[in-house]
């Protein structure tokens, strides 16, 4: 080999190396930039909603019912109460089945039924929420003949169920088997072991899963469109008061409330955002702020909870 060829080779190799190094730097930089890019909307949305919503929010927003167009003031008390009612209903319908099914799935993951249940949980979490709305319309609204809080609550429960089931399952698997075995060995029946030994040990994870499911459900609009429908005159507290004043049975009052349409913050936001009136748009921003703060704080609380608990356990 002549020296000339060798040095040419050397130069080419060096050039190639430089090019590879540059493309390496460029691509790695791009990867970092995409991450930054994805976070831009997060801060933009949160910042803008806080700015706009903060301008239009006032105490009456939380304490008054909507007023007819053209009359200033008014709030979304109906939507706030409705959201709380729907979320409570959804939790009541989703938590017991979710936790119970999780016990089966956690202890029998590889039986045919266990596999089928895990699979359908995954599928259920992927079903579009509007389809669940249609399902509940056909199942409850159509057969009862009217829109109701009950139908909306069940729709949200179906949305929460996969999250609750999945997290409970994961948490139950993390509980040391020795705990369960010790309890069983002492003669405690399976149900008692599950409820008073395993469940408390997994409680932190369960609360996290529940909160995450709650955050998801409380921001949903699509499944409520044809189930809870919306109701400008819904006032839970006033109805309970007047019902009690006229000496009605509390159960009857409650069932009366559950069988009428209710509003929720996402529904109100959706209706108001499409109206051409500035005061409605302003209230939509305020509703967005309340909803976002509600959902994000539940989410953050869930995560902080688990972090603090794990730190304490380690420390």
Nearer CB in complex with another protein: 116/174: 116
Buried b (16+ CB within 10 A) or exposed e, 234-256: bbbeebbeebeeeeeeeeebeee
Q: Between residue 54 and residue 93, which ones bind another protein under the rule CB under 8 A? A: none
Angle at 271 between CA 255 and CA 230, to 5 degrees: 10
Distance in Å, CB of 203 to another protein, minimum:
18
Contact residues for 157 (Cβ-Cβ < 8 A; gap 6+): 89, 90, 91, 92, 93, 94, 217
- Indicate the residue among 122 and 181 with the shorter CB distance to another protein: 122
Closer to another protein by Cβ: residue 203 or 304: 304
Asked if 180 and 193 touch (Cβ cutoff 8 Å), the reply is yes
Interface pick for another protein out of 131, 182, 203, 308 (rule CB under 8 A): 131
User: Shortest gap between Cβ of 202 and another protein (angstroms)?
Assistant: 15
Q: Which of 123, 174, 244, 308 binds another protein (CB under 8 A)?
A: 123
Does residue 301 belong to the site contacting another protein (CB under 8 A)?
Answer: no
Stretch of residues binding another protein (CB under 8 A), selected from 5-13, 23-31, 67-75, 250-258: 23-31
Of 170-178, 201-209, 233-241, 263-271: span binding another protein (CB under 8 A): 263-271
Q: Which of 221, 235, 257, 263 binds another protein (CB under 8 A)?
A: 221
Residue 90: exposure state from Cβ atoms within 10 A (0-12, 13-18, ≥19): buried
Is 132 a binding residue for another protein by CB under 8 A? The answer is: yes
For another protein, give the closer residue by CB, 254 or 306: 306
Q: Which is nearer to another protein, 238 or 307 (CB)?
A: 307
Interacting residue with another protein among 163, 194, 204, 231 (CB under 8 A): 194
Judged by CB under 8 A, the residue of 229, 234, 257, 262 near another protein is: 229
DSSP H helix total and E strand total for the chain: 15, 0
Single residue of 65, 84, 134, 306 touching another protein by CB under 8 A? 134
Binder of another protein out of 161, 202, 211, 262 (CB under 8 A): 161
The residue from 44, 54, 69, 250 that contacts another protein (CB under 8 A) is 44
Q: Which two tokens stand for residue 20?
A: 């590879």
Tell me the C-alpha distance between 306 and 315, whole Å: 14
- Cβ partners under 8 Å of residue 298, min gap 6: 211, 214, 215, 218
* DSSP line for 212-275: HHHHHHHT--GGGTTTTB--TT--HHHHHHHHHHTT--HHHHHHHHHTS-B--HHHHHHHHHTS
Among 116, 174, 182, 308, binds another protein (CB under 8 A): 116
């Amino acid at each position: 080999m002549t020296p000339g060829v060798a040095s040419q080779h050397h130069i080419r190799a060096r050039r190639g190396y430089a090019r590879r190094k540059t493309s390496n730097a460029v691509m790695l930089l791009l990867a970092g930039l995409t991450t930054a890019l994805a976070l831009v909307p997060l801060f933009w949305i949160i910042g803008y909603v806080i700015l706009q919503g903060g301008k239009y929010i006032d105490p009456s927003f939380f304490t008054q019912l909507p007023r007819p167009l053209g009359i200033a003031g008014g709030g979304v008390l109906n939507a706030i109460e409705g959201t709380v009612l729907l979320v409570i209903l959804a939790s009541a319908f989703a938590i017991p089945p979710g936790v119970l099914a999780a016990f089966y799935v956690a202890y029998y993951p590889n039986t045919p039924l266990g596999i089928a249940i895990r699979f359908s949980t995954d599928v259920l979490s992927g079903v579009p929420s509007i389809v669940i709305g249609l399902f509940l319309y056909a199942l409850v609204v159509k057969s009862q003949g009217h829109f109701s809080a009950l139908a909306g609550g069940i729709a949200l429960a179906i949305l929460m169920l996969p999250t609750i089931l999945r997290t409970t399952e994961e948490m139950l698997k993390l509980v040391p088997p020795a705990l369960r075995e010790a309890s069983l060995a002492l003669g405690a029946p399976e149900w008692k072991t599950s409820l008073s030994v395993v469940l408390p040990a997994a409680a932190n994870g369960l609360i996290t899963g529940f909160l995450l499911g709650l955050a998801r459900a409380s921001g949903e609009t699509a499944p409520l469109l044809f189930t809870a429908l919306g109701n400008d005159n819904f006032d839970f507290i006033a109805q309970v008061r007047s019902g009690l004043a006229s000496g009605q049975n509390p159960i009857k009052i409650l069932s009366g409330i559950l069988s009428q349409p209710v509003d929720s913050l996402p529904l109100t936001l959706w209706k108001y955002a499409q109206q051409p009136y500035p005061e409605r748009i302003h209230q939509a921003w305020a509703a967005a702020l309340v909803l976002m703060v509600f959902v994000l704080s539940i989410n953050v609380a869930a995560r902080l909870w688990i972090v603090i608990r794990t730190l304490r356990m380690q420390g």
